[in-house]
């Protein structure tokens, strides 16, 4: 018998590692996925050929609806949302070009790292305090310098702030001949975003949040103006997998680029199909109502929300942690006793509850609110659970069509 330097490791079936009942994912993503999405994710077919061609063409058509664009340059990416961000940056920036990065937290700041990574000149602006960007702040940046690309996030998941002036900020950038990349990772299909009407050049999103698909397969859409720059660039794209011209071979010309993440694309197909059935209007309304009801419930319990109502992000709600409360203890009690998971934060003294896609179902809202209340109480912080639950119920229009599949 061959003696291997590395012997086979101990055999541990996945079932021994995973919890018997999956945790209810009520954090900042990934989110629970519908059964149709999960089933599609278990299927592998040839990534080339007629069946896949039809699927790709329909994914693009449905994605156009989600992005509200008539542009045909829509690609799926085998990678996280950060890879979609990287595709946008890498194809539009290179040494000699410049980026204005509107940074208000972990994710919007990530654009600056990606942009310096490809050797472009990067200017970072930050809003005053914990606020969305004002139009004036962006206008001021253009007074002293011109930029090729502006990057901005619609909703900053890390702190729960919504960029309420996004549409106007895009207008300012376009007036200054600057392309705009918008990160709609946690917001797409949870609230209005109209790529063409607002004049956005690149929109990126991930599967695992508003779309309620799986993590690891993302979407990007390019405007004609962005595509002109990409087609005419003389400098090679340094990222082979993320080269949009190469991705276009698969997503438009149906030629080989790399082996597509077939199950993830099938899952995305089903997620987008469910969105088209629900329709964007109803989906926005469901998200708005669910999140606002949860927020009211949290406040009635006696908790303080981190972001004022006028620019609070509905997709991810940030809650102040009371003094002396330990985030890990609050979160772990919810996991251990209620099988519900929510998120901590990146350095801020907050915890976060996701309100994206399947998270916005009444049964999930009641469960997460009750679990959180009980966790605070068991950890020694008095909260009014009964009032919180009642306020949630009062503010939810229990329309079965909206909330229960």
Ligand X SMILES: Cc1ncc(COP(=O)(O)O)c(C=O)c1O
The site for ligand X (CB under 6 A) is made up of: 28-29, 80-82, 107, 153, 157, 183, 185-186, 206
Q: Give 241 or 374: the residue with its C-beta nearer to ligand X.
A: 241
Tell the smallest beta-carbon distance from residue 186 to ligand X (Å).
Answer: 4
Q: Give 156 or 370: the residue with its C-beta nearer to ligand X.
A: 156
Task: Please work out, in degrees rounded to the nearest 5, the angle formed at the alpha carbon of residue 268 by the alpha carbons of 262 and 269.
Answer: 90
Helix H or strand E segment including 56: helix 50-67
Q: Dump the DSSP string for 309-328.
A: GGGB-SSEEEEEPPTT--HH
Q: Give 218 or 364: the residue with its C-beta nearer to ligand X.
A: 218
Burial 291-311 (b: 16+ CB within 10 A, else e): bbbbbbbbbbbbbebbbeeeb
Dihedral (Cα; 333, 337, 341, 342), 10-degree rounding: -40
Q: Give 154 or 223: the residue with its C-beta nearer to ligand X.
A: 154
Separation between Cα atoms, residue 268 and residue 28, nearest integer Å: 19
Helix H or strand E segment including 181: strand 179-183
Q: Give 158 or 375: the residue with its C-beta nearer to ligand X.
A: 158
**Chain centre to alpha carbon of residue 12:** 33
Judged on CB neighbours under 10 Å (0-12, 13-18, 19+), 151 is: buried
CB of 374 closer than 8 Å to CB of 49: no
Q: Strands, E, within 193-343: which ranges?
A: 202-205, 217-222, 316-320, 340-341
Question: What's the maximum distance between 2 C-alpha atoms anywhere in the chain?
Answer: 74
Tell the smallest beta-carbon distance from residue 158 to ligand X (Å).
Answer: 7
Q: Give 155 or 388: the residue with its C-beta nearer to ligand X.
A: 155
| Distance from the first to the final alpha carbon of the chain | 56
Tell the smallest beta-carbon distance from residue 142 to ligand X (Å).
Answer: 24
Tell the smallest beta-carbon distance from residue 209 to ligand X (Å).
Answer: 6
Tell the smallest beta-carbon distance from residue 104 to ligand X (Å).
Answer: 10
Tell the smallest beta-carbon distance from residue 135 to ligand X (Å).
Answer: 21
Tell the smallest beta-carbon distance from residue 218 to ligand X (Å).
Answer: 7
Tell the smallest beta-carbon distance from residue 269 to ligand X (Å).
Answer: 19
Separation between Cα atoms, residue 51 and residue 245, nearest integer Å: 23
Alpha helices in 118-261 (DSSP H): 135-144, 166-175, 195-198, 224-232, 244-251
Tell the smallest beta-carbon distance from residue 379 to ligand X (Å).
Answer: 26
Task: Please work out, in degrees rounded to the nearest 5, the angle formed at the alpha carbon of residue 194 by the alpha carbons of 193 and 196.
Answer: 150
Q: Dump the DSSP string for 65-110.
A: HHHT---S-EEEEES-HHHHHHHHHHHH--TT-EEEEE-SSHHHHH
Q: Dump the DSSP string for 105-159.
A: SHHHHHHHHHHHHTT-EEEEE--SSS-PPPHHHHHHHHHH---SEEEEESEETTT
Tell the smallest beta-carbon distance from residue 248 to ligand X (Å).
Answer: 22
Q: Give 107 or 133: the residue with its C-beta nearer to ligand X.
A: 107
Tell the smallest beta-carbon distance from residue 21 to ligand X (Å).
Answer: 25
CB of 305 closer than 8 Å to CB of 299: yes
Q: Give 24 or 211: the residue with its C-beta nearer to ligand X.
A: 211
Q: Give 79 or 297: the residue with its C-beta nearer to ligand X.
A: 79
Q: Give 184 or 334: the residue with its C-beta nearer to ligand X.
A: 184
């Amino acid at each position: 018998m061959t003696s291997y330097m590395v012997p086979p490791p101990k055999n541990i079936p996945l079932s021994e590692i995973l919890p018997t009942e999956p945790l209810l994912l009520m954090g900042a993503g990934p989110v629970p996925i519908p059964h149709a999405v999960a089933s599609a994710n278990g299927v592998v077919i040839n990534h080339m050929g007629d069946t896949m061609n039809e699927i790709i063409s329909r994914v693009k058509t449905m994605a156009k609806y989600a992005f509200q664009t008539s542009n045909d340059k829509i690609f799926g990416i085998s990678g996280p949302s950060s890879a979609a961000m990287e595709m946008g940056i890498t194809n539009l920036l290179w040494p000699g070009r410049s980026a204005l990065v509107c940074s208000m937290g972990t994710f919007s700041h990530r654009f600056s790292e990606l942009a310096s990574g490809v050797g472009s000149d990067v200017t970072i602006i930050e809003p005053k305090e914990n606020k969305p960007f004002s139009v004036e702040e962006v206008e001021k940046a253009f007074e002293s310098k011109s930029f090729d690309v502006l990057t901005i996030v619609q909703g900053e998941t890390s702190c729960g702030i919504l960029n309420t002036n996004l549409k106007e900020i895009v207008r300012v950038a376009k007036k200054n001949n600057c392309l705009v990349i918008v990160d709609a990772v946690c917001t797409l299909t949870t609230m209005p975003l109209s790529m063409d009407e607002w004049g956005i050049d690149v929109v990126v999103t991930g599967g695992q949040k508003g779309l309620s698909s799986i993590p690891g397969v993302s979407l990007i859409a390019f405007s004609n103006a962005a595509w002109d720059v990409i087609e005419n660039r003389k400098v090679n794209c340094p990222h082979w997998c993320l080269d949009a011209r190469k991705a276009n071979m698969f997503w438009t010309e149906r030629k080989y680029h790399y082996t597509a993440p077939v199950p993830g694309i099938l899952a995305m197909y089903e997620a987008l199909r469910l969105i088209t059935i629900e329709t964007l209007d109803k989906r926005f309304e469901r998200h708005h109502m669910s999140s606002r009801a949860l927020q009211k419930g949290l406040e009635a319990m006696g908790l303080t929300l981190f972001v004022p109502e006028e620019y609070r992000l509905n997709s991810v709600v940030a809650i102040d942690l009371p003094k002396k409360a330990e985030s890990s203890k609050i979160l772990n009690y919810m996991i251990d006793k209620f099988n519900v998971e929510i998120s901590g934060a990146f350095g801020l003294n907050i915890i976060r509850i996701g309100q994206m896609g399947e998270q916005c179902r009444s049964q999930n809202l009641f469960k997460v609110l009750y679990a959180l209340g009980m966790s605070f109480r068991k950890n020694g912080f008095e909260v009014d659970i009964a009032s919180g639950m009642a306020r949630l119920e009062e503010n939810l229009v229990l329309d079965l069509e909206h909330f229960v599949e």
